[in-house]
Structure 1
Amino acid sequence: MSRSNFQTHGQEGFTLVELMISLVLGLLVIAAAGGIFLSNKRVYGSTEAINRIQENQRAAFELMSRDLREAGANPCTRFNATVGPVNLLADRSSPVWSRFQMGLTGTEGGTSDNVVVYNAGGRSRVTAHATPGADLTVSDTAGLVNGQTLMVCNADTAMIFSATKITSGGTIVGHDGAGNCGRGFTRQPDYARCADAVASNVGYCFNSIDQATCGASAERGRSPAMLIVPAAIQWSIANNGRGGTSLFRTVNGTASEIAEGVTSLQLSYKIGNSTAFVDASAVGAAQWATVTAVRVGMNFVAAQGAQSTTDIRGTNNAALTRTAVDVIALRNHLDIQ
């Protein structure tokens, strides 16, 4: 009987040198991949920061341009430096509505100028107003509230007043509250005798059938009348509560943040047919009504937000910035040739 002989071979492995070479090569591959990842991450972060700047830039200029183009807009009559709406409000402390006919006014603020734009918002048709003291009957009161400042106008005149008697889904707008001078409409209010202004002045009817109905001593408008919401829209830069500054749009006292990372707002104005743009300090009180264009310059800086600090910085380790300038023509201040 033969006996099989088995030959056992020893197991072979990596030598220490081979292992060290493998580790070094692996580390090189990992380092290269990590470097590519970090580089791509930084490029992505910078691109995202630039995209956010561009988005803020588009939003800021689009909305601001829309307001500036419509400065002085209303559906009734054209105002100028000397002809504007009659202010029937009893509170004369606020200068806002006394400047409404100018269309816009601006002030200097170093790197943060601001501008207030005046125009008309929502509107409703006046269907009846028989006598100066009668309530206005309008097509719709949606969105209106008591105490709100409104303006009623036609092709002949415009009057600003405080609203009363407004109910949800109604059609009546009153004007005989304590917020107004007098209990009726008049183009010559007696502010010294605010409580009985209408009693000592000629009243005005916006939509009366005939002169006899309106009153022999009253004036009667002959063109269609509209009820509108006058707006004072301020554009300015303010702290956003996150350690930076933003561009804000404030409508009748209510502020909204439009674009973050805006660090400066520079405004200059073109008066009439002049070819030069001047700062607000060089525009006379009566010249605001003749401003035909506004040059707007804004500086945008990358805001950190959810991004890391390195994502918003450029090659010089400073925050990414962009400066944009645009010229906006005021449609309602341009004469039709």
Structure 2
Amino acid sequence: MQRRHHDLQCRHPVERCPRYRGRQHSVRNQHHEPAMTHTDRVVQRRQRGFTLVELMISLLLGILVIGAAGSMFFSNRKVYGSTEAISRIQENQRSAYEMLARDIREAGGNPCTRNVVNMLDTTKPGGSYYAGWQNGVSGANNGGPNGSDSITLSQATGTSIAVTKNETPSANIEVTGTTGLAAGDILMVCNADVAAIFQATALPSGTSIQHNSGQGTPGNLAKPFQITQEAFDASVGGTNAPGYCFLPETPKNSNCLNEPSKSPVQVVKPTAVRWFLAANGRGGTSLYRQETSNGGATVGTSNEIAEGVTNMQITYKVGDAAAYVDASAGLDWGRVTAVHVNMVFRAAQGTLTKADTEGTDDGVITRALNDYILLRNHQDIQ
């Protein structure tokens, strides 16, 4: 009776019947609005966008990260640039010092001996240049950019040619070859006893060097060589005058004043090397090295050794004096025993930026080279 009563109650329209109300709702959802499951709700929750606050926080964090990375990059870039600038300065210092120190040490040197005789006519241009050959060094004070000094060093340490014959004090020296030589060149012939500076007046063949007197500029004062400068100055210097024979035969010629030295004989071309500062054409100054030969008549190319050298001050130690003095003091150059060199190097921009060449005080990075160099050929032999 209860079920029937229930059914009777459900004979009313569907919307008033509890029995069919849920079914109607389910059917409606199947056809119009499907029911949302738990999975659908999770997916929908995950697909939600960022809020404005979240976006602003993310943007702030990103800016902080980029700022920190940028600051680190620029800091490392500054350190790299400064390190590179200092490395270039140190490289320039090494090359400049090694080459300059080598020339200073060899000043007045030759492959053979200290006993040098000058045969050149000192009354003519070029002759006086080698009259003081044994001095080996001379300098000028405050003559360059920024009041910088210069130094000139005489030496005969180039390629040598072996002498094969010189048995009489004649006008010819026989050698293995004359390649690289020319008539008029000022040369040096030497062995363990004596070194003589003379001018080649002619090259009669590919194996002979002539050194007559009275020819050329400056020319030779006499034809025969002598073993000392005093003997040469006092010699007659005629065609058959006695003199030094570099390779006397046995029995020796009556005009040869010496016995065989039993040491090799060679011919070499003396040069003078000048070190100075000059503008480098790039808005700065550099250190240059220039060779001259033939009594200064042949001037070589000025070679740039180190860039960014802004000053060079040179002082000299004379004899046993404790103090070093500059070139303006009227030095006895033949008694100079050591040279004090002070050079200032400035970071050159080159491929670097302006900031790379600046230190912490915003000034250009500079370094000083300060050293003392002994002249080997002016030291007393104990």
Short-chain TM bin: 0.7 to 0.9
Query: Distance between the aligned counterparts of 2:311 and 2:251, measured in 1?
Result: 56
Change (3 A) 1:162 1:172: closer
Query: Distance between the aligned counterparts of 1:311 and 1:205, measured in 2?
Result: 64
Show structure 1 runs of 5+ residues with no match. 191-196
* Structure 2 residue aligned with 1:102: 135
Q: CA deviation at 1:51?
A: 0.7
1:8-157 to 2 correspondence within 5 Å?
A: 9=44, 11-79=47-115, 84-87=117-120, 92-93=125-126, 95-109=128-142, 111-121=147-157, 122-141=159-178, 143-154=180-191, 155-157=193-195
* Structure 2 residue aligned with 1:244: 284
Change (3 A) 1:40 1:93: same
Per-residue CA distance 1:84-106 (angstroms, 9 max, x = gap): 42225995256432332211011
Per-residue CA distance 1:198-248 (angstroms, 9 max, x = gap): 5597665433426875xx557567434321121201111111111111111
Change (3 A) 1:89 1:132: farther
- Whether 2:321 is the aligned partner of 1:274: answer yes
Per-residue CA distance 1:168-214 (angstroms, 9 max, x = gap): xx543344574534894455599xxxxxx85597665433426875x
1:216-295 to 2 correspondence within 5 Å?
A: 222-223=260-261, 224=263, 225-252=265-292, 253-254=299-300, 255-284=302-331, 287-295=332-340
Show structure 2 runs of 5+ residues with no match. 1-25, 227-231, 293-298
Matched letter for residue 279 of structure 1: D
Identity level (%)? 43
**Alignment equivalent of 1:161, drawn from 189, 195, 199:** 199
Change (3 A) 1:145 1:28: farther
CA contact (8 A) 1:71 1:117 kept: yes
- Whether 2:355 is the aligned partner of 1:322: answer no
Matched letter for residue 137 of structure 1: E
Change (3 A) 1:181 1:103: closer
Q: CA deviation at 1:66?
A: 1.0
CA contact (8 A) 2:122 2:128 kept: no
Change (3 A) 1:300 1:58: same
Q: CA deviation at 1:16?
A: 2.4
Q: CA deviation at 1:135?
A: 3.2
CA contact (8 A) 1:88 1:159 kept: no
TM-score of the superposition, structure 2-length normalised?
Answer: 0.74
TM-score of the superposition, structure 1-length normalised?
Answer: 0.83
Query: Distance between the aligned counterparts of 1:174 and 1:186, measured in 2?
Result: 13
Backbone CA RMSD of aligned residues: 3.2
Change (3 A) 1:94 1:264: farther
CA contact (8 A) 1:144 1:166 kept: no
* Structure 1 residue aligned with 2:8: none
Query: Distance between the aligned counterparts of 2:360 and 2:96, measured in 1?
Result: 27
CA contact (8 A) 1:146 1:166 kept: no
Partner SS, residue 132 of structure 2? helix
Q: CA deviation at 1:13?
A: 1.2
Change (3 A) 1:278 1:332: same
CA contact (8 A) 1:88 1:160 kept: no
Q: CA deviation at 1:63?
A: 1.1
Query: Distance between the aligned counterparts of 1:158 and 1:94, measured in 2?
Result: 13
How many residues align? The count is 322
